Amino acid sequence: VQALADLKAPFLRWPGGSFASIYRWKDGIGPHVSRKYHPNEIWGGYSDYYGFGTEEFMELCRQLDTEPMVVLPATTIDPEAVEYAMDWVRYLNDPPTTEWGRMRAANGHPEPYGVGYLQIDNEPMNHGLTPEQYAEIVNVYGRRLREIAPAARIVACGQKRSNDMNWSQKIIDIAGDNFDILGVHNYEYEPENFQTGVQRIQDYLVKLRDYVRDSEYPEIKIGVLEWNLSRAYDWRAGLHAAGSLITYERLSPELEMSCPALLMRNTTDDPTWTAFIYHDHVSWFPGAGSVVEKLLREHYAERRRRL
C-alpha cells in the first residue's frame, strides 16, 4: 500500500490483463469462506481463491484516495453475459434500495461506491475477436452502461500493438458513439530500444490522435492503459518511463490518462516480465519505472510553478 501511495495515482484499474475477461465477480464478494476457487488458466493455471475481490479493491482505492476503474468481462453479446456484467455495475453504483444495492449493503458497504470509469473488457483480441466483433460488443455494452451508469465514463479497448491502427480505427468508426475513452496498449519489448521505442510509440499515438480529430467522434479521449519497457530492470527502464511520460504530457489533453503495466509483481514470478513495484510477503522495492513516476509526480514543472 505504501508503494502505491507514494505514486499518488489518480486512478487504479482492476482486474488486469486477459484475466479480466474471465473474472467471475460474483464469486469474489461476501465472506471469504463462501468465495469460490478458480484456476487462472489465462496465466498458467495458478490457484486463485478470490481473496482479493470487489470490496478489497474498493477499500484499497479508498486508502489510496484514487479513482477506481473496473474492467467488465465482455467477450460476447450473449444476453446472459451482458446482464452478468451489468449486475456488477449495479452492485457498485446502485442505491441500497435495489436488489444489488441491498446485497452490497449486506456485505458491509451501504453507500454506492460510485465507480466513475468502466472498461469494456481488456485485450479482447486475445480471445479471437475481430475488431468488428468487438465493436458490436462495445455498442451493446456501451448503450446499456449509458442507461444504468449515466455519470460513468466508458472505456473501450484500442489496439494491443502500435502497428495495428486498423483495430483502433474500426472501433472508433463503428462504436464511437458508445464510449468516451479509447484505451490502447503500448509496450516496448527489447531493452536496446529503450529510446527508439519512445519515438515509435509517439508516432503511433500522434496518428491515432489525428484520426480521432478527423473522425465523427472527435470528443473521444485516448488513454494508454498498459505501457512499459517490459523486459528490462535497469536504468533503461527508467529512461523509457521518463520519455513515455513526457510524450503523454505533450499529447494531452487529447491523451487523457495512462497507467503502466505490470504494476506489481511478486519476486517469485516469471522474471521475463518486469514491473514497477516488486514485493514478497514481508517487503517491497521499486523498479526503475516507479522511481521515475515518483520523481515526475513530485517535481513536474507545472506543479513547481504553482508553488
Render pLDDT for 208-239 as a digit per residue (tens, 0 to 9). 999 999 999 999 999 999 999 999 989 999 99
Residue 166, CA atoms < 13 Å, CB-side half-sphere: 6
The Cα-based distances of 303 to 295, 297, 300 in angstroms read: 12, 9, 5
The one-character DSSP state at 124 is G
Over residues 61-87, the mean pLDDT reads 98
The one-character DSSP state at 267 is T
Over residues 101-115, the mean pLDDT reads 97
For 178-217, b/e burial (b = at least 16 CB within 10 A) is bbbbbbbbbbbeebebbeebbeebbebbeebbebbeeeeb
Lookup: cell for 288? 526503475
pLDDT in tens, 3-33: 999 999 999 999 988 889 999 999 999 999 9
* Cα 56 from Cα 61, distance rounded (Å): 9
pLDDT in tens, 172-202: 999 999 999 999 999 999 999 999 999 999 9
For 220-234, b/e burial (b = at least 16 CB within 10 A) is bbbbbbbbbbbbbbe
pTM above 0.85, yes or no: yes
Cα 297 to chain centroid distance, Å, stands at: 20
> Helix (H, G, I), strand (E, B), or coil: what is residue 218?
coil
